[in-house]
Amino acid sequence: MRIDNVHSSAASARDATEFIATALPFVEAIERGARRLTTNRYDAEDLVQETLLKAYNGFHTFEGGTNMQAWLFRIMRNTWISNFRAQQRTPVEQLCEDFTDAQLSAGLRHGADGARSAENEALAHLPDDAVLEALRAIPQANRMVVYYADVEGYPYREIATLMDTPIGTVMSRLARGRARLRVLLADHQAALPAGRAR
């Protein structure tokens, strides 16, 4: 065994011991706080475990002599917010065995080629036919970014996550999509008779 490995394992053991001694008095307070943030005991236990794991991994950033409980609570709160946002982006899952065939067939709206996509379903509910036609006329990638940003109201970062693309790509597709949409809607407006122009 090399000498630097011995020193690093001794240092990590010392860090672990120091972390336990510093954090242990606040575990009960963290557990109470986790129960207030979450909806059930199991989620609270998971939140406490994740908080302590993150705190241990980031213990080198903790400044000695400062408030350990406040530091742990900040980590727990940020972890809870991140988890909550991730859950908001995740679609609700339900086992298909909970549905009967009659419910499934009644719930689907079929077009000429089968069930419609969620995006097409949402576009179909837009109130203005001109906007709907213009959205359909722009390229698919730009249309989805415009839909997520302007109809659903997602921020750039969440759109990038949803579409698995860099945030810069989202911004450029949105700019191009909006520009194309403006041109199409202006053309439509110009084509309306004078009495129908809005």
d(CA 33, CA 116): 44
CATH code for the structural domain at 116-191: 1.10.10.10
Question: Could you list the pLDDT tens digit for every one of the 198 residues in the chain?
Answer: 444 444 455 556 667 888 888 888 999 999 988 998 888 899 999 999 999 999 999 888 888 788 888 999 999 999 999 988 888 888 777 666 666 666 655 555 454 455 555 555 555 554 467 777 888 888 888 888 888 888 788 888 888 888 888 999 999 999 998 888 888 877 766 776 654 444
Beta bridge partners of 111: 114
For the chain, the domains span 3-89, 116-191
Residue found under tokens 């972390």: 19
**Cα atoms found within 13 Å of the Cα of residue 46, Cβ hemisphere only:** 10
d(CA 128, CA 119): 16
- Chain Cα centroid distance, residue 4: 42
Rounded Cα–Cα distance for residues 80 and 34 (Å):
9
For the chain, the C-alpha Rg in angstroms (whole number) is 26
Secondary structure of residue 110 in the 3-state scheme: strand
The amino acid present at 113, given as its one-letter code, is: D
| Topology (CATH) of 3-89 | Rna Polymerase Sigma Factor; Chain: A (1.10.1740)
